[in-house]
Structure 1
Amino acid sequence: MAFGWIDEQAALRRRAGLVRTLRPRPADSPLLDLASNDYLGLAHHPEVTEGAARAAREWGGGATGSRLVTGSTELHAELERELADFCGVEAALVFSSGYAANLAAVTALAPHGSLIVSDAGNHASLIDGCRLARGTTQVVAHADPEAVRKALTTHDGPAVAVSDTVFSVDGDAAPLAELAAVCRTRGAGLVVDDAHGFGVLGAGGRGAAHAAGLAGADDVVVTLTLSKSLGSQGGAVLGPARVIDHLVNAARTFIFDTGLAPAAVGAALAALRLLRREPERAARARTVAGELHARLTAAGHEAVRPDAAVVSVRAPSPEQAVRWAADCRAAGLAVGCFRPPSVPDGVSRLRLTARADLTEGQIERAVQVIGETRP
């Protein structure tokens, strides 16, 4: 029977407690949301939704083609200019998703004969970029600049180190300044995914690379999403103008993909301008994360100290993590649930995301529900 092996895989997932299901949410969900990545609370902000609606009215429901054909609008160019200016880099390039941006950056900057040094805790999109690239990939220990240095010394040709800036599982930050220093000793480039740092870290939310003093460096390329702190959709690559020009000509997920829908571009642009006016949102997201961590650990939970807005709470097993998250949901709290193979160390977790718009009462309620439902 065609695809008969799928049934065997499904049975294995059931036995391991790793079945995943879709849960469509209503527009007016009553749940207290600590599961989304809406770090600054902008997804439903009136200026952001109006930015989306206005762009759709003016430019239509879709981009109508790839960026190199009809999919680049004046609105796309405006967002790219403002992203580059905000983050302190020469140029930016907008993609249909953060995933596509990561695939583009890694594959286009790691040609045949090159070495990619990849952190063991990297996001799946960076891992897939490494798999698709023509260079050779060496995976090294998590957040370990010395391991990166040793890997680079084994190769004499072009090389690039690839890392998340803030890792999505535990919310810990990479040692970016040290990684950049190691790369420079070997003439290697550094590509960092700032999906969970942009909007939260750096001055006014300008990101982890900005906070590390790497903004505008000619050997550092930053990728980010528009779907987290900016509450929209899409992704971007930021860096030296010559790198961005290279991506326009060589990145397959740019050349062959339909451009980001104008509504998403308009929403992201409105959110970026709002963040410029209200830079305190970034600090508030970090404060909320710190409060969640402090109260959870005081209550006896094993929580990882957050470096940005992700708070990880360890669970005894995959099955118990699933049940814990379900019990939280039944009690009115939405939390993330990370299990193998999404977690590199095999330890299941509840994953909480701090939001800048959470109130004191909501923080207290979240901690209370997590404690009451603990397996």
Structure 2
Amino acid sequence: MLHADHLPGRTLLAADGREYLFCSGTGYLGIARNPAFAALLAEGLARYGSNYSSSRNSSLQLRIYEEAESYLARYAGAEAALTVSSGYLAGQMAVKALAQAGRFEYAPGTHPAAWLTDHPGPVAATRTFDEWAQHLLRRLRHETPHPVVLVSNSLDALRVQRYDFSWTKELPTDRAITLLIDDSHGFGLIGREGAGIFTEISAPATVRLVVVSSLGKACGIPGGVVLGDAAFVGSLRRSAFFAASSPVVPAYLYAFLHAQELYQQARQQLAANVQRFADAAPAGLFQGTEGFPVFYTAANELADYLQQREVLISSFPYPAPTDPCITRVVLSALHSPADVERVADLCTAFAKRQVLN
């Protein structure tokens, strides 16, 4: 474990004085260390201050929230959007609002932010996502029709798999069904111009679709968003949960709204980096999915090998300290072509050494 006194960007200067190429974290578009975004944030801070310590339902209404939420809804293809101070809060607000909407069914690996309880019981850990989906459809077809809430991530960001949601077209229409998807690792990256998974879901009109997401990963701002139909989002807006919650710092929403060209440039740079690494990395070492900047490997020894050569990748037990180690190379839009080639070359050397040993 390394210690540092600053947030890493393209590189990390550790407390021991060594500089590492940083290939970890979830800041995929590099926004948190983007100088142009920092300048927009400074404008926002000058206008709104460093924090808004009030309820969104107070007598003062800042227009920036309505502007940002209108934009997010249009961008994602949803009827309405609601911002809150974190992705975790977005997930919890949604599931608490759906607590009486039916029996909860969790897909494998569902993030705890979308759990209704601390320990929701088996989360289909022994099945793949596709196996879970087909088993679910069979059960729904043969059981007495009761309302259900289906909860899933949009993708597996740990072992890097885009989930196929085509099965949602086959959901039954004889009961109330809510599909709640956590798109925290996809929003800003996947879908049309990075708009996420909302418009990629094709389910019967009777199925209510709710998407929650962190804005702190690809978008690089501390906040979260709930996307859905106007009635559901309106009910959240009127809830005590929302009224008692701290809002997103408005300066960040100001920067977000004015940074769309920066986001587009960063997505283009990241896409080029991902393709470059995918083309150059040794066959068989990594598991990845097209266009996603994370590359998983079961060879946990790779992390030590790269760290000895001043490259820091993601490798630690997750989600609990007792869980298996998850080792991944994470690229960002901050990396140069030379950075990507360097990591790929080192991975190739590692793979050849493994073969020889």
SS of 2:137's equivalent?
helix
Is 1:42 aligned to 2:37, yes or no?
no
Is 1:23 aligned to 2:11, yes or no?
no
1:40 and 1:357 in contact (8 A); partners too: yes
Partner amino acid, structure 2, of 1:282: R
1:315 and 1:349 in contact (8 A); partners too: no
Aligned to 1:315: 299
1:105 deviates by 1.4
- 2: distance between equivalents of 1:366 and 1:330? 13
Match of 2:317 among 319, 324, 339: 339
Match of 2:171 among 182, 185, 196: 182
1:334 deviates by 2.5
Aligned to 1:191: 180
- 2: distance between equivalents of 1:169 and 1:272? 28
1:186 deviates by 4.8
Aligned to 2:128: 142
Aligned to 1:5: none
Corresponding pairs, count: 336
Aligned to 1:364: 341
Aligned to 1:261: 249
Match of 2:193 among 172, 196, 204: 204
1:35 and 1:335 in contact (8 A); partners too: yes
2:177 and 2:207 in contact (8 A); partners too: no
Aligned to 1:295: 280
Aligned to 1:17: none
Partner amino acid, structure 1, of 2:314: G
1:336 and 1:351 in contact (8 A); partners too: yes
1:339 and 1:348 in contact (8 A); partners too: yes
- 2: distance between equivalents of 1:211 and 1:97? 24
1:42 deviates by 2.5
2:212 and 2:224 in contact (8 A); partners too: yes
Give aligned-pair identity as a percent: 24
2:179 and 2:207 in contact (8 A); partners too: no
1:81 deviates by 0.9
Aligned to 2:116: 130
- 2: distance between equivalents of 1:71 and 1:182? 43
Partner amino acid, structure 2, of 1:110: A
- 2: distance between equivalents of 1:38 and 1:336? 13
Is 1:282 aligned to 2:259, yes or no?
no
Is 1:80 aligned to 2:69, yes or no?
yes
- Consecutive unaligned residues of structure 1, counting only runs of 5 or more, are 1-20
TM-score, length basis structure 1: 0.78
Is 1:120 aligned to 2:104, yes or no?
no
- 1: distance between equivalents of 2:46 and 2:247? 17
**Deviating runs (4+, > 6 A) in structure 1?**
none
Pair 297,262 (structure 1): closer, same or farther in 2 beyond 3 Å: same
1:347 deviates by 4.5
Deviation string for 1:174-232 (max 9, x for gaps)?
22232353265654111111111122211211112334457x99721111221111122
- 2: distance between equivalents of 1:155 and 1:68? 41
Partner amino acid, structure 2, of 1:259: P
- 1: distance between equivalents of 2:172 and 2:311? 43
Aligned to 2:40: 51
1:149 and 1:182 in contact (8 A); partners too: yes
SS of 2:145's equivalent?
coil
SS of 2:190's equivalent?
coil
Pair 157,227 (structure 1): closer, same or farther in 2 beyond 3 Å: same
Partner amino acid, structure 2, of 1:100: L
Pair 155,131 (structure 1): closer, same or farther in 2 beyond 3 Å: farther
1:199 and 1:207 in contact (8 A); partners too: yes
2:103 and 2:148 in contact (8 A); partners too: yes
Pair 139,350 (structure 1): closer, same or farther in 2 beyond 3 Å: closer
Pair 268,223 (structure 1): closer, same or farther in 2 beyond 3 Å: same
1:94 deviates by 0.5
Partner amino acid, structure 2, of 1:351: R
